[in-house]
Structure 1
């Protein structure tokens, strides 16, 4: 029995000694290369990206931008077009226009999307006989009508639609 305990103690001591790191007796000098190495390409430098801090870096919040925008847009043959656009959070819209002095009314609906990371929105009507409409997003409470090429409309009249206050 004593032999078994002695053998167990020796094995345990060897196992513990094998796990301990051994310090080198002498410092080891690095070996010199046998042949000169060819010049290596510069190592790539890791660049840490900066956090999103500008409005262009932050994704446009369609649900947060949804709302109703109203105003009077220029008209070629009347005093103006009273316009109301309701942008829904699900990406749909409804449009109601009244041509001042003519009594003509127009209703439309379709889908709207944000473009250029929220710098403008596009109204895509369900009726394909109508053209898409573009609006510049000038603030969270204002959009400005653009022409079919996406350029500002040149007019002495306002092209601005403003957000209606939310009903409570």
Structure 2
């Protein structure tokens, strides 16, 4: 009577062991083959672009405050102030005119791309989309659409550099 009970216990242990999840990241290699680890990923500090595309662009020199009134579909305009910090972070505040003084703010990181002709704002909030601005001059940037094209409306989407305080 102990043999059937022992056999049942062994089968139960085997069944339970088979139901356990396998450990993550198990690799099997042929005997004598060298294991390959995933390639390391370079993580650049905020504002530091490791690509060679903007090796010549002076982000610290370009950093500053840009402001202006952008067009709005259902209000007179959006008073916008964009602060590009030298460390590659940004802050933007937008106040819709005729909206009882409500100001929205967003922050994140900024980079220069497209042969030093565009600024990309990458928001910290994942619910917001990136924004692109053309570098018109050292004193002016112009908002672009999501594909990097200027607005076809003919309206003024530019922000002007403000003097340092």
TM class by smaller structure: 0.5 to 0.7
CA RMSD of aligned residues (A): 1.7
| Aligned pairs, number | 112
Which of the two has higher C-alpha Rg?
A: 1
Structure 1 stretches of 5 or more lacking a match? 1-55
Matched, 1:73 2:77: no
Superposed, 1:72-91 pairs within 5 Å as 72-91=69-88
Structure 2 stretches of 5 or more lacking a match? 1-52
Select which of 125, 129, 139 maps to 1:141: 139
Q: What's 1:152 paired with?
A: 150
Matched, 1:108 2:141: no
Superposed, 1:1-168 pairs within 5 Å as 59-103=56-100, 104-167=102-165
Contact 2:108 2:123 in 1 (8 A): yes
Say which is worse superposed, 76-85 or 148-157, in terms of deviation.
148-157
From the superposition, tell whether residues 57 and 74 of structure 1 become closer, same or farther in structure 2 (CA, over 3 Å).
closer
Question: 1:90 Cα shift?
Answer: 0.3
SS of the residue corresponding to residue 64 of structure 1 reads helix
Structure 1 outlier segments of 4+, above 3 Å: none
Question: 1:156 Cα shift?
Answer: 3.9
TM-score (normalizing by structure 1)? 0.63
Question: 1:92 Cα shift?
Answer: 0.1
Question: C-alpha distance in 1, partners of 2:136/2:104?
Answer: 26
Question: C-alpha distance in 1, partners of 2:153/2:78?
Answer: 14
Question: 1:118 Cα shift?
Answer: 1.7
Contact 1:83 1:97 in 2 (8 A): yes
Contact 2:141 2:160 in 1 (8 A): yes
